Amino acid sequence: AQKVTQAQTEISVVEKEDVTLDCVYETRDTTYYLFWYKQPPSGELVFLIRRNSFDEQNEISGRYSWNFQKSTSSFNFTITASQVVDSAVYFCALKYGNKLVFGAGTILRVKS
């Protein structure tokens, strides 16, 4: 069965600190996609990044970067130089078929 685990319930950092959000997934599919979404207080889920199961190349996009490792089934997400506006709930999700399976989410609080 597909499952996504975000062990960190809540993280608090001070502005400008780097923060890494952990995500571990389980799937028997060989083709799958992983996503990170952000949910600010307004409630709308905002798409951040996507990675497919064929490509383990890690990338950086602005202040965001991610580390995908199939060997450990992990898809961690890092925010560099965090800002107060980054405060939100972050969800890691696994997609198979057209169904997203979400982790429980990590609350990120960035203090000024």
CB atoms within 10 A of CB 77: 23
Which one of 8-16, 43-51, 58-66, 75-83 is the stretch in contact with another protein (CB under 8 A)?
43-51
Check residue 105 for interaction with another protein (CB under 8 A): yes
Comparing C-alpha atoms, which of 21, 24, 25, 2 is closest to residue 10?
A: 21
Q: Rule CB under 8 A: choose which of 15, 24, 33, 74 binds another protein.
A: 33
Q: 49 has which bridge partners?
A: 36
Tell me whether residue 11 or residue 45 sits nearer to another protein (CB atom): 45
Tell me whether residue 31 or residue 112 sits nearer to another protein (CB atom): 31
Check residue 97 for interaction with another protein (CB under 8 A): yes
> What is the DSSP secondary structure assignment for residue 45, as one 8-state letter?
-
Contact predicate 90/23, CB 8 Å:
no
User: How far apart (Å, rounded) are the C-alpha atoms in residues 33 and 43?
Assistant: 23
User: How far apart (Å, rounded) are the C-alpha atoms in residues 38 and 9?
Assistant: 14
Which one of 12-20, 67-75, 77-85, 93-101 is the stretch in contact with another protein (CB under 8 A)?
93-101
Check residue 43 for interaction with another protein (CB under 8 A): yes
- Positions touching another protein (CB under 8 A) are 31-33, 35, 37, 42-47, 50, 52, 91, 95-105
